[in-house]
Amino acid sequence: MSTILFWVAAFILSIILLSMIPGLDLLLKPTIKILFDLLVVVGGGLANYAIWFLKRLIRAHKVLFTHLTLSAETIDPAYRLEKNSDKYD
């Protein structure tokens, strides 16, 4: 993780240093704008995945609570049918 942070910091520092050179400023401003637009798009996608993950987590806990509180006959009708069919064998 520290390696990633190091390279991100080095990239930001190099962008700042290159923007001080007069001719490169015209090239770096659109590049910086594109990078920030990309960051917004990726951040929006990550927010969608975070919402999806939270919904899955809540549903998993709801199913777990249901299985802990209800009997097998209530949850699974096939279990009841199988139990009744064993009675007639």
pLDDT digits (tens, 9 = 90+) for 51-89: 999 999 999 999 999 999 988 888 888 877 777 776 665
89 CB neighbour count, 10 Å cutoff: 4
Which residues, 6+ apart, have CB-to-CB distance to 75 below 8 Å? 66, 67
C-alpha–C-alpha distance, residues 83 and 64, integer Å: 23
45, 31, 15, 12: which is closest to 4 by C-alpha? 12
pLDDT number for residue 64: 94
pLDDT number for residue 63: 93
Whether the pLDDT of residue 39 is over 80: the answer is yes
Instruction: Give mean pLDDT, residues 21-44.
Output: 86
pTM of the full predicted structure? 0.47
pLDDT number for residue 82: 77
